[in-house]
Amino acid sequence: MVDDLGEPVPLATPPQRLASLVPSLTDAIEASRPGLIAAATDYCTHPPSLDVPRVGGSKYPNVDAVLELRPDLVVANAEENRPEDVARLRADGIPVWVTAAAATVPEGLGSVRRLLTQGLDLPEPAWLVQAEDLWREITPVRATAIIPVWRRPWIVVGRDTFAGDVLHRLGIANAYADHPNRYPRPSLDELNEAGADLVVLPDEPYEFTADDGPESFPGLPYTLVNGRFLTWCGPSLVEAHAALTAAFRP
């Protein structure tokens, strides 16, 4: 088997103990087969009942702690995890499955399906089929938004991102969809001159609130959203469709 990046994943039998370095994959795997996750990052908040050893953050995990646990497989992501950490785990004999940074919802769900059904030898979960059905249609554009994910400095969603496609399917175009970078760092003046109709403010990775974020865009309507609904490719997509549709209802 090979992962999304074409790297071999040497598994003789389906893995029974996984270390997950990606919060959305932790949620997807645990929802599909409870008990497979043996270690997770500090940011793996779902499912809330998950009680396993924690191995630091996604970007800077405690690789020594992962190695001590000797999982059958580590799951990682090309955007969220550092190549040097993946390389060290592989050098110590731990198979690692790296998922690609999906540019669309269908790409993301296809990647998760391959991990679950091929990598973990699980049946296709019902939540995945439901998520595909819910997110298949694309609503005509009714507004253009800027989508900050950080401030100090300001960082926004740019081209070819999962979050951008989530909003696109709900009729919200991304003002920076044609930018050369996936996560541009425009100045605040540039953001306010982008010609957007709306500011979408998620609560992760930066926790925007009604008192922290909207004041930077005077006169521009804003919508606060659950960041997990916007960026996680997993079972939360089922709940996310109704919640985000309601948030952007005219």
Distance CA 222, CA 212 (A): 12
CATH number at residue 197: 3.40.50.1980
Same domain, 48 and 104: yes
The total domain count for the chain is: 2
Same domain, 187 and 241: yes
pLDDT digits (tens, 9 = 90+) for 85-95: 999 999 999 99
Same domain, 42 and 80: yes
Same domain, 161 and 242: yes
Domain annotation covers residue 23 = yes
Of 75, 103, 129, which closes a domain?
Answer: 129
Containing structural domain, residue 184: 143-247
pLDDT tops 90 at residue 112: yes
Q: What mean pLDDT comes out for the span 106-121?
A: 98
Q: What mean pLDDT comes out for the span 167-176?
A: 98
